[in-house]
Structure 1
Amino acid sequence: MKSVFKQCAMLAALACSAGSVQAAEKVIFDTDFNVLNDDGQAFIMLAQLHSQKRIELLGMTLVSGNAWVDQEQVDALKAVERMGVEKDVGVYSGAVYPLLHDFATYPQEQALFGAGFPGAFKSARPTSAAQLISPPDGLATRTQLRKETAVQFIIDSVRAHPHEVTLLATGPLTNLALAIRQAPDIVPLIKRIVYMGGAMEIPGNTTPAAEFNWWFDPEAAKIVLRSPIEHVIFPNDVCEKVTFDASVYQRIVAHKGAIADLYTHEFGPLFAKNPDYHHFTWDSLPALYLVEPNIVTESRELNVDVDATFGPDYGRSLAYKKSAPVGTQKATVVFGINQKMFWDGYVSLVTLPTPVKRP
């Protein structure tokens, strides 16, 4: 009799344990992708987290920003092959142009207000494949874009998995704004949006007023940030406190493999020329946050908006602790992280073997 009770107790414990195990968070990576700047580094981390079943990476949706979406397609298709996740993680092409912000008027804007990093606006959109640049390890050979558009994929995924999909938005917010406008029913079904974007209390990195992602498409940013969704924002205020330097670089290239080769190709000449070289890894912070929220040491609840009036403040992030304008939404804005915890997590992911093997 005792053995029967013991077996029942064990079964009950197992059932409770199984019920308490949370499914991996479903994530769509909405990105202005590149080979190995911040978006590329973030994707390496996400692919490894997907292989470990710590997240379920549903797909990568592309939006013009760092480059025109045509170049991003080339880089992203190779990236999913390089990481060995091309069957699991589809690449979906999205918005080519911002909602209103126009390449044709950018030279006048630059002359009037000044500008730093212009992203895709540094040159006209490519008109032929010959103008696109191959990744250093060659083009994708077996992977093509998925037929669905990025916007439709976002809509379909959120509808299929209500309250389960997190959107990791590390570029301009054009795809998300279009999805919300096209299918407003998805707004209450989105689990949360985690952003890299904005500059709350520091100058911008594209104009004196504006951070690049939200400057590239301020109207889209305004639409998304004013939607009643859970918002978690990593602005430049925190991202530009965290620097990739020679010590981190050496930890990575000590591990031989395809990813170390990319880092050597991208950063080796820069460190050889200047051992004190450093740069920021913007998008890697919110990527790790998805599974390691404890990296955050300081955050504030603020109502966040974007100035979409054309002028010197075009694209400026606006944060309100009190007396927020009608229509703005509360967001968790991150201002500090545990840098040792972040870099240990970052290095541990980007140095894992590739291609990945999902158990």
Structure 2
Amino acid sequence: MRQRLIMDVDTGIDDSLALLYLLASPEAEIVGIASTAGNVPAPQVAANNLAWLDVCKAGPIEVSLGSEAPLVIPLRTTEDTHGPQGIGYAVLPESARELSVRPASDMWVDLVREFPGEVIGLCTAPLTNLALALRREPALPQLLQRLVIMGGAFNYAGNTTPTAEWNVSVDPEAAKVVFDAFSAAPPDRRPIVCALDITETIEMHPAHVDRLAEIAGGASNPLVGYLSDAIRFYMEFHRDHNQGYIAHMHDPFAAAVALDPSLVTTRPATVDVELAGTLTRGMTVADLTGMWGRPPNVEIATTTEPAVFFDRLIERVGTFARNTYPADAQ
């Protein structure tokens, strides 16, 4: 049976590759895509999602518009990291697909109620829409089959402030709502959190893009062209910040974990979010030894094999690109 997934994304270069990874995975069935304000404003996120579905020649998939602002604070976006439209140098054709009539938070609730215990949630964006969904349906942690979150940093420097990771820092109040809500989840339903500690080991290099293009039948493949244009911007950003000509592929890694949790080892922890610290607002704090006297509410991903992930990503997306745009039809 294919695995039903809700994606909650702020597309985003690495969110784009996460979407392509799931579309390329035969065991995945995307039942809804929530467009969250983050890397770029929510309407642009939605436009990117619709356009990628067109480029990938995907069938009908619901794309919903989420809240255009965090729960409490004004929205910050990061076009310097992801480009003016959020997809680097890529220029995708405008889509004629229509947005869903229901807001993202309603889509979350309706789908988990429709398929209780069957839906995997994948959040690679600020947690605004999931927090709003939890307000409407507090039983959501019990209704989901699994939740994977890309966010946070534990015993690791932040990438937005010295202590805070981007997705959490955009809407720390929403992150706290989500982590608090999952304190009531049974152990097998705790969210798997892929934080910077592990996702910054997922370094894409130009050789990875070359391998993907080779499997796809060459750089002339249209899907490879769009991806290359997006990823090149991301690599240039990392280079300009003295990290080398690489790209941290946080979100497709989280997508792979959503489908196959065996890609990571995990450690239970009680996680909370700092909301009042002058220097540490948005910091994710993990109690690993039970000092707070509260039960664990997450499983923190601690180790993985990046080469295994990249082999899987390249094979799946490269093959998907070749099948979507056969060389003899270009």
Alignment of 1:104-183 (within 5 A): 119-120=77-78, 136-140=91-95, 142-183=96-137
Deviations 1:86-121 (A, max 9, x none): 41x111000110011224xxxxxxxxxxxxxx5359
Cα distance in 1 between the residues matched to 2:104 and 2:311:
33
The aligned counterpart of 1:4 is none
1:244 maps to what in 2?
Answer: 204
Query: Do the aligned partners of residues 315 and 121 (structure 1) sit closer, same or farther apart at CA in structure 2, a change above 3 Å counting?
Result: farther
Query: Which secondary structure does the structure 1 equivalent of 2:163 belong to?
Result: coil
Aligned residue for 1:16? none
Q: Tell me, which stretches of 5 or more residues in structure 2 are unaligned?
A: 325-330
Higher Cα radius of gyration = 1
Q: CA deviation at 1:292?
A: 3.1
CA shift, 1:293, in A, is 2.7
TM-score, with structure 2 as normaliser = 0.85
CA contact (8 A) 2:269 2:300 kept: yes
How many percent identity over aligned positions?
A: 25
The secondary structure found in structure 1 opposite 2:161 is coil
State the distance in 1 between where 2:234 and 2:45 align.
Answer: 23
The residue number in structure 1 matching 2:24 is 48
* Cα-Cα RMSD: 2.7
Assess if the C-alpha contact under 8 Å between 1:78 and 1:135 holds in 2: no
Number of the residue aligned with 2:2: 24
CA distance in 1, matches of 2:323, 2:106: 28
Instruction: Return the match for 2:72 from 82, 89, 100.
Output: 100
Q: Which amino acid aligns with 1:64?
A: A
- Say whether 1:260 aligns with 2:214: no
| Aligned length, in residue pairs | 305
| Match among 294, 298, 303 for residue 262 of structure 2 | 294
Distance 1:193 1:97 in 2: 23
1:336 is aligned to 2:303? yes
**Aligned partner of 2:138: which letter?**
P
Q: Is the 8 A contact 1:28 1:58 kept in 2?
A: yes
**CA 1:134–1:96 in 2, change beyond 3 Å: closer, same or farther?**
farther
Structure 2 counterpart of 1:91, from 57, 63, 66:
63
Query: Which whole-Å deviations, capped at 9, do the CAs of 1:36-83 have from their partners, x for residues lacking one?
Result: x1100000001112xx2x022101101101111021122111011111
Structure 1 length-normalised TM: 0.78
Deviates more, 1:260-269 or 1:202-211: 260-269
- The CA deviation at 1:265 is 2.1
Change (3 A) 1:350 1:322: same
> 2:163 and 2:32 mapped to 1: Cα distance?
33
Structure 2: which amino acid aligns with 1:345?
A: R
- Cα distance in 1 between the residues matched to 2:139 and 2:8: 19
Kindly tell me: are residues 267 and 189 of structure 1, through their superposed partners in 2, closer, same or farther at Cα, counting changes over 3 Å? closer
Cα separation, 2, equivalents of 1:26 and 1:356: 23
Of 198-207 and 328-337, the range deviating more from structure 2: 328-337
Of 175-184 and 77-86, deviating more is: 77-86
Deviation at 1:24, TM superposition (A): 2.1
1:26 deviates by 1.4
Contact 2:126 2:167 in 1 (8 A): yes
Whether contact under 8 Å (1:44, 1:349) holds in the other structure is no
How far 1:259 moved relative to its partner?
2.0
Q: Structure 1 residues 269, 313: closer, same or farther in 2, change over 3 A?
A: closer
Name the residue aligned to 1:321: 288
Deviations 1:186-239 (A, max 9, x none): 332122210100001111000001001011111110110111232101000000
Consecutive unaligned residues of structure 1, counting only runs of 5 or more, are: 1-22, 104-117
Instruction: Note if contact 1:48-1:356 (Cα within 8 Å) is conserved in structure 2.
Output: no
